[in-house]
Chain A
Amino acid sequence: MTPYLLLAAALFCVGVYGLLTQRHGIGILVSIELMVNAANINLVTFAHFRGGTAGPALALFALALTVAEVAVGLAILLLLYRQKGDVQVDDAKELRQ
C-alpha cells in the first residue's frame, strides 16, 4: 500500500508546489487536477487494500465535479485572456493588494 500512498503524496506535493509557483493559468489548472487526482489515488488505494466501495464512489464524484470546476476555471481564464490578451495570472492585479 505504501508505494501507492507515496505516489499520491508526491503528486499532491507537485500539485501544491505548482499552484503556489505557476504564473500561467493553464499551469494552475493542471496543478489543481494533480492535487485532486492524488486524493483519488489515495481513495482507490485504501478501498483496494481494505475493501469497501465508498472510496471509489467518492473518487468518481470527485472526478466529475472537478472536471466541472476546471471547465469553469478555463472559462474564466478565457475571459481574462479576452480582456488582457494573456493568461499570466500575474497580470491580474487591478485590485489593490
Chain B
Amino acid sequence: MLNDLLTVLPLTIVALLGCFVLLLDVLSGQTDRRYLGRITAAGFALALGSVYLLWGKTSLQLESPIFGGIMVLGRFELLACAVLLLIGLFVTLMSIDWAPEQGVSIGELYALVCFAVLGMMLLVTATHMISLFLGLEVMSVAIYVLAAFKRNSPYAAEAGMKYFVLGAFGTGLLLYGMAYAYGATGKLAFADVAQALAGKEPTGYVKLAVLMLVAAFGFKLALVPFHMWTPDVYEGAPAPVTALMAAGVKTAAVIAAGRVFVTALPPSALGSLEPTVFKILGVLAVITMTAGNLMALPQRNLKRMLAYSAVAHAGYLLIGLMAAHHVAGQPQVGDVMGALLVYLFVYALANLAAFAVVSLLGGQSQEDVSLDHLSGLSGRHPLGAAVLALAMLSLAGVPPTAGFFGKLTLFKEALRADEGKFPWLVVLAVLNSVVSVFYYLRVLVHTYFRDALRPVLLVRGTALTLALGLLAFLTLQVGLFPSRWFEATAQAARPATTQVSTSAAP
C-alpha cells in the first residue's frame, strides 16, 4: 500500500496542486492572477522532479501493478507522465502573460490545466477499464470547460459545445464497448480480458466491443470519419488550450489506445476477427492522413491548418498503433511503443511551439490568426519567428529537426513489425509527408519573406519568452542528439509491455 502511494507521487502532486490553486484563487481575492500561473508552473516542475526521483528508485517495485491492478507506473509510464507534465508546464507558461491580454484573468484556468493533466496521467497509467474511463472523463471534462473558457467570445462557447457533444458521444461509445467486453469475458482488467478471450472464437459481443472501442478512440484521436469537431474546436478554443488539446490529449489517447489494443485486445484475443480489424484500421489510417493533408492545403488560418495537420498526424500515429497491436506479446512491442512515445514527444514539442507563437500573436483579445498576420514576424519578434520555423520544419519532418527522427523511427519500427503488411502503409505515409511540406513551408514563407500587411499586437512577457526559448532548445536538442532519447524510451518501454497478470482487481 505504501509502495503504491509512493509510486503515484507525480499524480498526487498534480491533484493537490489543482485543488490548492483553485482554493488559493477564491481565498486570496487578488485580481492579478499571474502569481497563480507561476505557482502552477513551479508545481509542474516539482512533479517532474518527483518523476526523476522515482526513476532512480530501485527499491520501489515500479513495474508491478498497483492499487489491485487498476494501474501501473513503470519506467515507460513515468516517461509518458514526464511528457504530459512538460506539456502542462508549457501550457501554463504560455497562459501567464496571454490570459490578461485576452481579458480572461480567471484563476480556474490553472486549476483546470492541472486537472486535465491529471486525467491524462491516469489515462496513460490505466490497466483497467475503470481507471481508463476515469482518466478519460477527468481529462475531457476539464478540457470541455477550458475550450469554452473565454466567456466573452462566441467562438469559444461554440467550440466548447462542439467538443462537448462529440466528446460525450465518444464517451458513450466507449462505455458501451466496455460493457460488451465485460459481457464477453466477465473481466475489466486489460490482462484478464485478453486471457479470457485467448484462443476462443470471437462472439458477437467481442465484435461489437471492438467496433465501439475503435470508434470511441477514433473520436478522441480525430481519425477521419470522426474528425468533424477538430478544425472548429481548434480554431475556436483559446490558443494555450488548443496546445493542450493538440499535444496532451493526443499523447494520452494514443498511449491509452495502444494499451487497450496491446494488452486487452491483442491479435491472440481477437482470433479470426484479426484480419478484419487490421483492414479497418489500415483503411482508417490511409484516409485519415490523406484527407487531413488535403484539407490542410487550402487553409489560410494557422489554427485551422494545425487542426488538419493534427488529423494527418493521427493517421501516422495509427500506423504505429497497428504495428504495436501486431507484435503484441513479443518483446519487440517495447520498441514500437517507445517509438510511438518519441513521436508523440516531438509532435507535442512542435505543436506547443506553434501554439506558443499563436499565443504570442494574441495581443489585445486578438484571436483569428491568418497567414497574413504572420507576415513580417521575423523582423518584429525574431525569437517567435525562429520558433515557429522550427516547429513547422519539425512537423513536416525535415531533417535535422526532431520531427524527422520521430517519423523515421516510427516508420522503421512499423516496417520491422511485419514486412509483409506494412510497406504500403508506410509508403503512403511518406508520400503524405511530402505533400504536407507544402503547407508547412508556406507558413515559413509568410513569416520570413513577406512584409507586414496588418501588424498584430504581440503579447510581451517573460514567461512566454521562456516557453519559446525552452521549446526551441528542446526541439533542437532532440533533433541533433536523437539517439539518447530513443534508447531511453525503448529501454523504458520493454518491461512495461510484457504481460503482467492482474488478480485482485474487482
Interface residues in chain A, defined as those with a beta carbon under 8 Å from any beta carbon in chain B: 5, 8, 12, 15-16, 19, 25, 28, 32, 35-36, 38-40, 42-43, 45-47, 50-55, 57-58, 61-62, 65-66, 68-70, 72-73, 75-77, 79-80, 83-84, 89, 92-97
Q: List the one stretch of B133-141, B349-357, B418-426 in contact with chain A.
A: B133-141
Interface centre among B159, B162, B169, B173 (most CB of A within 10 A): B169
- The verdict on A42 contacting B168 (CB below 8 Å), with A58-B130, A73-B144 known, is no
Residue of B nearest to A62 (CB): B175
- The verdict on A79 contacting B187 (CB below 8 Å), with A58-B133, A58-B182, A95-B232 known, is no
Contact A39 B176 (CB under 8 A): yes
B 145-173 contacts with A by CB, 8 A: 145, 148, 151, 154-155, 157-162, 164-165, 168-169, 171-173
Contact A32 B175 (CB under 8 A): no
Bound complex: CA A75 to CA B157 (Å): 10
Contact A79 B134 (CB under 8 A): no
Chain B contact residues: helix, strand, loop or mixed = helix
Contact B157 A92 (CB under 8 A): yes
B192 to chain A, nearest CB (A): 9
- The verdict on A42 contacting B183 (CB below 8 Å), with A73-B164, A76-B161 known, is yes
List, in ascending order, chain B residues with CB within 8 A of A8's CB. Answer: 179
List, in ascending order, chain B residues with CB within 8 A of A15's CB. Answer: 172
List, in ascending order, chain B residues with CB within 8 A of A28's CB. Answer: 165
Contact A95 B180 (CB under 8 A): no
Contact B176 A38 (CB under 8 A): yes
A96 to chain B, nearest CB (A): 8
A-B contact count (CB 8 A): 146
24 contacts between A and B (CB under 8 A): A36-B171, A39-B175, A39-B178, A43-B179, A50-B183, A54-B129, A54-B187, A54-B188, A57-B506, A58-B133, A58-B175, A61-B133, A69-B164, A73-B168, A76-B148, A76-B157, A79-B151, A83-B157, A89-B161, A92-B157, A94-B155, A96-B231, A96-B232, A97-B232
Bound complex: CA A96 to CA B176 (Å): 32
Contact B134 A19 (CB under 8 A): no
Interface centre among A8, A40, A96 (most CB of B within 10 A): A96
List, in ascending order, chain A residues with CB within 8 A of B171's CB. Answer: 32, 36, 66, 69
Bound complex: CA A33 to CA B133 (Å): 16
List, in ascending order, chain A residues with CB within 8 A of B155's CB. Answer: 94-95
- Determine whether B23 belongs to the interface, using a CB cutoff of 8 Å to chain A: no
- Determine whether B376 belongs to the interface, using a CB cutoff of 8 Å to chain A: no
Contact of A65 among B133, B144, B179, B304 (CB under 8 A): B133
- Determine whether B53 belongs to the interface, using a CB cutoff of 8 Å to chain A: no
Contact B154 A61 (CB under 8 A): no
Bound complex: CA A66 to CA B175 (Å): 11
Contact A32 B172 (CB under 8 A): yes
- Determine whether B461 belongs to the interface, using a CB cutoff of 8 Å to chain A: no
Residue of B nearest to A77 (CB): B161
List, in ascending order, chain B residues with CB within 8 A of A58's CB. Answer: 129-130, 133, 175, 178-179, 182, 188
Bound complex: CA A65 to CA B187 (Å): 21
Interface residues in chain B, defined as those with a beta carbon under 8 Å from any beta carbon in chain A: 129-130, 133-134, 137-138, 140-141, 144-145, 148, 151, 154-155, 157-162, 164-165, 168-169, 171-173, 175-176, 178-180, 182-183, 186-188, 231-232, 235-236, 304, 505-506
B86 to chain A, nearest CB (A): 26
Contact A79 B186 (CB under 8 A): no
Contact of A79 among B129, B160, B168, B178 (CB under 8 A): B160
- The verdict on A46 contacting B506 (CB below 8 Å), with A32-B169, A54-B187, A73-B164 known, is no
Contact of B140 among A42, A69, A95 (CB under 8 A): A69
Contact B144 A42 (CB under 8 A): no
Contact B186 A52 (CB under 8 A): yes
Residue of B nearest to A73 (CB): B164
Contact A84 B154 (CB under 8 A): yes
Bound complex: CA A50 to CA B187 (Å): 11
Contact B188 A92 (CB under 8 A): no
List, in ascending order, chain A residues with CB within 8 A of B145's CB. Answer: 72, 75-76
List, in ascending order, chain B residues with CB within 8 A of A96's CB. Answer: 231-232, 235, 304
Contact A61 B134 (CB under 8 A): yes
Bound complex: CA A73 to CA B145 (Å): 9
B180 to chain A, nearest CB (A): 7
Bound complex: CA A54 to CA B169 (Å): 23
